[in-house]
Amino acid sequence: MAATDRSAGSGDDKPTFTFEQIVLRFVVGVLVIALFVMIVELGQVRGRVGSLETAGAPAPAAATQDPLGSPQTFKIVLKEMEVVPKVVEVPAGTPVTLNVVNEGAVPHNLTIHGGPKTPDLKTGAKATLELGTVTKAMTGECSIPGHKDAGMTFQVRVGGTAPAAAAEHTDASLDDSAKLDPNATPPAAWQPYDPKLAPAPGGREHKLTMTATEGVVEVAPGVKQQMWSFNGKVPGPAVRGRVGDLFTFTLVNDQRNKLGHSIDFHASKVAWNDEMRTINPGEQLVYQFEAKHAGIYMYHCGTAPTLHHIGNGMYGAIIVDPPALGKVDHEYLLVQSELYLGPQGQPGSLRKMQNESLDAVVFNGYATQYKFRPIRVEPHQRVRVWVLDAGPSENSAFHIVGTIFDTAYKEGEYLLRPGAGRGGAQVLDLQPAQGGFVEFTFDEPGLYPIVTHKFANVAKGALGLFQAGDVKATGGGH
């Protein structure tokens, strides 16, 4: 700081200088600034470096001052969704031990690239990792799907080395993700998701088990992803009742799962911190509510990062019939959602979900499935289609080519009903988590494409067909 004082005092000198004096002052000024920058940077580095846990005597940020080669032990805490500290720094040649503890609510691990890894640790569980003699920077992460992209990364930095572009280097998910083939067709044994919606069961109490599952399923011809779901289906099972019905769900987190899961029924009015809490693999909880309001509601897993759990399949529809719902010939349920493909057989990419970089938009979990297997009705039959936009992030302009909706219902209210005015609707517009239904007939035999009129998404899988009557299903021009 003395240098700074001298520099500041120079402003009181006489206003005329020789050339040598000007050069000298310039050089001193540059040196002062350089010194200041170094001091600030050193402070920042120390702020980022984790605390050192030596035998009984924690010595925060002392790592870089330890003599070369003396062993060091760090306490590493895992929680949602970070590793604390995120960075530790040691001199090259230091034997390093990590005492890892999970202080989070769901299982985590610490996996060191090219090094050891802890088992998946439940809440409160501990493990020790011996990294051996560390000579160069190392990186790590929680390898439970999605947790790295949500922020659970870790670095061991070696004194003097650059802050390793290491944290960036491992995300290959954008490059090795599975790709959709627009010309592929499903295998012969493939069965589409049944779009038929059964009427509400007779009783006023409904007891259901919802089992959170993690398994590999096909989401488009030749494309398999590890999807998380309820009862092994994407979307999860359709649930239906009437206003005033009592629903008692038992949420089971399958013991073979790796992740914590939860459920959030938008049809319920219950406290978030109780029924919607996350349970670990092997646990279960009871979620009970009375359906007080009519509509089609989303249910989904709300476990962090919720974007990943919804985007990877944990959603479905619960329908609470409006009073005096009219009779129709057919009822269907179409749930629109997006796919953000990870590598083949792996979970979807949280990074892509965060960037809204979707690969596909699908009805009932599979790209263009009702183009491959059109939904068969007869001309002049009355059809009701319930639609839910599960997202997680894309909207829906639900439209059926070749017909006009004479009835539209959205978010608990009729937008349109048949009447003397003979009004018609062409689109049911839904934001993520919104739902409704439309009713219509087909006046001629033929094929009627089902789309979202946000047409960029039609080419990405948001396309199906109704087939009215006997027609040669050639696939049409859409």
How close are the terminal C-alpha atoms of the chain, in Å?
Answer: 74
CB atoms within 10 A of CB 175: 7
Who's near 396: CB < 8 A, 6+ residues apart? 336, 387, 389, 428, 429, 430, 452, 454
User: Using the rule CB under 5 A, is 400 a contact of Cu ion?
Assistant: no
Separation CA 68–CA 93 (nearest Å): 7
Backbone angles phi, psi at 37, to 5 degrees: -60, -40
Residue number with CB closer to Cu ion (100 or 301): 301
Residue number with CB closer to Cu ion (230 or 398): 230
Which residue in the set 303, 349, 403, 467 belongs to the binding site for Cu ion (CB under 5 A)?
303
Residue 228 Cβ vs Cu ion, minimum distance, rounded to whole Å:
5
Which x/- pattern, by CB under 5 A, does the window 67-106 give for Cu ion?
A: ----------------------------------------
Q: Which residues are 338's β-sheet partners?
A: 361
Beta strand 239-242 pairing with 315-321: parallel
- Please choose, out of 3-11, 242-250, 258-266, 267-275, the segment that lies near Cu ion by the rule CB under 5 A: 258-266
Which residue in the set 144, 251, 301, 462 belongs to the binding site for Cu ion (CB under 5 A)?
301
Tokens matching residue 342: 């990870």
Which one-letter amino acid corresponds to residue 458? V
Size of residue set near Cu ion by CB under 5 A: 5
Which residue in the set 100, 134, 223, 314 belongs to the binding site for Cu ion (CB under 5 A)?
314
User: Using the rule CB under 5 A, is 309 a contact of Cu ion?
Assistant: yes
Residue 226 Cβ vs Cu ion, minimum distance, rounded to whole Å:
13
Name the 3-class secondary structure at 15.
Answer: coil
User: Using the rule CB under 5 A, is 308 a contact of Cu ion?
Assistant: no
User: Using the rule CB under 5 A, is 261 a contact of Cu ion?
Assistant: yes
Closest residue by Cα to residue 73 from 64, 83, 63:
63
CB atoms within 10 A of CB 362: 27
Residue 178 Cβ vs Cu ion, minimum distance, rounded to whole Å:
21
Residue number with CB closer to Cu ion (50 or 305): 305
Residue number with CB closer to Cu ion (301 or 320): 301
Residue 213 Cβ vs Cu ion, minimum distance, rounded to whole Å:
10
Residue number with CB closer to Cu ion (221 or 305): 305
Angle, CA of 111, 112 and 113, to the nearest 5°: 115
- Please choose, out of 117-125, 181-189, 255-263, 414-422, the segment that lies near Cu ion by the rule CB under 5 A: 255-263
Helices (H), 256-356: 306-311, 350-354
Separation CA 474–CA 289 (nearest Å): 47
- Please choose, out of 25-33, 254-262, 291-299, 331-339, the segment that lies near Cu ion by the rule CB under 5 A: 254-262
Bin 364: left if φ > 0, else alpha if -120 < ψ < 50, else beta. Answer: left
Residue 283 Cβ vs Cu ion, minimum distance, rounded to whole Å:
13
Residue 144 Cβ vs Cu ion, minimum distance, rounded to whole Å:
12
Site residues (vs Cu ion, CB under 5 A):
261, 301, 303, 309, 314
